[in-house]
A and B are shown apart, each in its own frame.
Chain A
Amino acid sequence: MSNTITIDGNTVPFEDGQTIMEAATAAGVYIPHLCHHPEFTPHGSCKLCTVNVNGRNCSACTFPAMEGQNVLNNTRELTDDRRKITQMLFVEGNHLCPGCEKTGNCQLQAVAYHLNMLDNHFPHFYPSRELDASHAEVMIDHNRCIFCTLCVRASQQKDGKDVFAISGRGLNKHLIINSQSGLLKDTDLEATDEAAHICPTGAILIKRTGYQVPIGERIYDHKQIDQVSLETEHPRHGE
């Protein structure tokens, strides 16, 4: 434990092989993120965890912690950048919270709340995206997919299956489903799979469970995502 970095001026220890995100989480420092999950290989795609390391911006979830790093995390400039990134995620898909059953439990929404995002700033794309309700217990609303690949990784790395993948590039990027028909019902996905529960937004939902907890009593209705994230993603900080 001789290795240390500083985050916003505070000394944070790290172990060899840890990323900045891992070192920060272990020390109880929240770095906003959506595509990162401690159980799975980092993907570095959502860019919300952008931090400044010795003057250069990089993704905390993929960047290795190294001796002598001076990391800026909670600064006005980075918060502004992260708010812009979140606004872009909102206008790129169709995120209409009042009509989404994930509202209040949604990490995309919670990060936006955390960043005090009051508007979407950019012109809306309103892309045309499909909904797949073919599976008996799980549904996919592609309107809400942010391509974080957590379902892809969870299916491969935890469930030992290969149900999801990302296909296409840029505006044509989309989540595809590994079956001849392209429908969820023809895959081996089960409602108990990690991949069916890991979605940070309302894109993958378990049917008939959406309103079991009333709006107003949900995870992020009264608790900020920084607190929830540290409690759930690192046991040392749990209750």
Chain B
Amino acid sequence: MASKIRVATTSLAGCFGCHMSFLDIDERMLQLAEVVEFGRSPINDIEHCTNCDIGLIEGGVCNSENVHVLREFRKNCKILVAVGACAINGGLPAMRNFIPLEECLAEAYLDGIGVENPQIPSDPELPLLLDKVRPIHEVVKIDYFLPGCPPSADVFWKFLTDLLDGREPSLSYELVHYD
């Protein structure tokens, strides 16, 4: 039996909505599991991305850890896919780009309504925030883009089955949405 196609997934500065939408392929997941096995993914809790064929990246890049994870995926995935609005253009997290980072942190941790024991979190384990949220194609080379907030389950299905069947992936008008 031919070895299975390895797929890894991650959510960077995203809301896991794209992952939820991926799971919305429902019973088709069983069909997929016949030809695909999962590498690193929140679905199985594997922590590192090694030797994968397809990497699906949800979310933009908002902190140093996102950059490391994204580079690990690029290094270990033959095909890297930007999934959803945030991965493609920063999405709603990028709305903080118009407010200085210091003001964002002050609003969240010092001056915001209901804040107790105000202090900016500074534990060394916490990844440092970038000054701006960035789409992932500004950090690594991306091979394919699946727009949508989130892309519908049918987008995941069409894209993956195209790829698995050896066709150049294409999305029809009905499958392309930015909202």
Q: Tell me which of B85, B98, B137 contacts A98 (CB under 8 A).
A: B85
B145 engages A119 (CB within 8 Å): yes
Is A121 in the interface zone, CB < 8 Å from B?
yes
A112 to B95: give the CA distance in the assembly, Å. 21
Chain A positions 103-133 with a Cβ under 8 Å from a chain B Cβ? 103-104, 109, 112-114, 116, 118-121, 123-124, 126, 128-129
Q: Which chain B residues lie closer than 8 Å to A120 at the CB level?
A: 88-89, 135, 137
Q: Chain A CB within 10 Å — which of B89, B134, B135, B173 has the most?
A: B89
> A118-B146, A119-B145, A124-B135 known; A104 and B179 CB under 8 Å?
yes
Nearest-CB residue, chain B, relative to A99: B92
A202 to B142: give the CA distance in the assembly, Å. 29
Is A215 in the interface zone, CB < 8 Å from B?
yes
Closest-CB distance, A34 to chain B (whole angstroms): 16
What class of interface size applies to chain B in its complex with A? Answer: 20 to 34
Q: Which chain B residues lie closer than 8 Å to A97 at the CB level?
A: 85, 149, 178-179
A89 to B105: give the CA distance in the assembly, Å. 31
Nearest-CB residue, chain A, relative to B146: A118
A-B contacts besides A96-B91, A118-B88, A118-B147, 20 pairs, CB < 8 Å: A94-B98, A96-B92, A98-B85, A98-B91, A98-B92, A98-B149, A98-B179, A104-B179, A109-B178, A112-B178, A113-B177, A118-B146, A118-B171, A118-B176, A119-B88, A119-B137, A123-B138, A124-B90, A126-B94, A215-B179
- B-contacting residues of A (Cβ < 8 Å)? 90, 94-100, 103-104, 109, 112-114, 116, 118-121, 123-124, 126, 128-129, 215, 221-222, 224
- A-contacting residues of B (Cβ < 8 Å)? 82, 85, 88-92, 94-95, 97-98, 132, 134-135, 137-138, 142, 144-147, 149, 171, 173-174, 176-179
